[in-house]
């Protein structure tokens, strides 16, 4: 199983766990990372993930994210095809950076794209010709356990 975690997922364990949802999602991410380290799941990294991580002014969050991305089995470079496909997603109401993430995941043929961003998730699930599955962290549990 190849999975593309967006930066909000990767950084979820660093968020304030006073909210029940965040605490649960943090545990899910930590378990996914454990499955990646035991090679039961393949993590995908991309130019977009690295770019976004490097923009983070919080050095701890930046280093944590880059460390996780360093464990990736697959890497997708930004390309003209990704940029063109991202424009289709933007027309569907997806923000440009999220569109580039989604197009990157699709380009490398990820099985799943995972996000904690509810607005993005809702819009992405409405895209008719999307070639990958977009899931929340709660939904990805069901897929992993199959």
Per residue in 18-33, pLDDT (tens digit) is: 999 999 999 999 999 9
- The domain that contains 41 carries what CATH number? 3.40.50.1010
| Separation of alpha carbons 100 and 95, rounded Å | 9
Mean pLDDT of the chain: 96
pLDDT digits (tens, 9 = 90+) for 83-97: 999 999 999 999 999
The total domain count for the chain is 1
| Separation of alpha carbons 73 and 69, rounded Å | 9
Share above pLDDT 90 across residues of the chain, in percent, rounded to a whole number: 95
Averaged over 69-85, what is the pLDDT? Answer: 97
Whole-prediction pTM: 0.94
Q: What is the pLDDT of residue 91?
A: 96
pLDDT digits (tens, 9 = 90+) for 105-134: 999 999 999 999 999 999 999 999 999 999
Q: What is the pLDDT of residue 144?
A: 85
Q: What is the pLDDT of residue 103?
A: 98
Range of the domain at 47: 2-144
- Parallel, antiparallel, or unpaired for β 74-76 and 112-114? unpaired
Q: What is the pLDDT of residue 146?
A: 73
The H-or-E segment that residue 2 falls in is: strand 2-5
Averaged over 126-143, what is the pLDDT? Answer: 93
Averaged over 2-27, what is the pLDDT? Answer: 96
């Amino acid at each position: 199983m190849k999975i593309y975690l967006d930066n909000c997922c990767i950084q979820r364990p660093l968020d304030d766990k006073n909210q029940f949802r965040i605490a649960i999602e943090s545990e899910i991410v930590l378990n996914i990372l454990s499955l990646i380290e035991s090679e039961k799941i393949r993590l995908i990294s991309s130019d977009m993930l690295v770019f976004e991580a490097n923009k983070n002014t919080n050095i701890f969050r930046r280093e944590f994210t880059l460390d996780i991305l360093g464990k990736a089995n697959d890497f997708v470079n930004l390309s003209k095809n990704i940029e063109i496909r991202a424009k289709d997603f933007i027309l569907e109401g997806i923000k440009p950076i999220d569109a580039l993430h989604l197009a990157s995941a699709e380009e490398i043929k990820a099985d799943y794209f995972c996000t904690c961003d509810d607005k993005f998730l809702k819009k992405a699930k409405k895209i008719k010709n999307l070639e990958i599955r977009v899931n929340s962290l709660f939904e990805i549990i069901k897929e992993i356990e199959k």
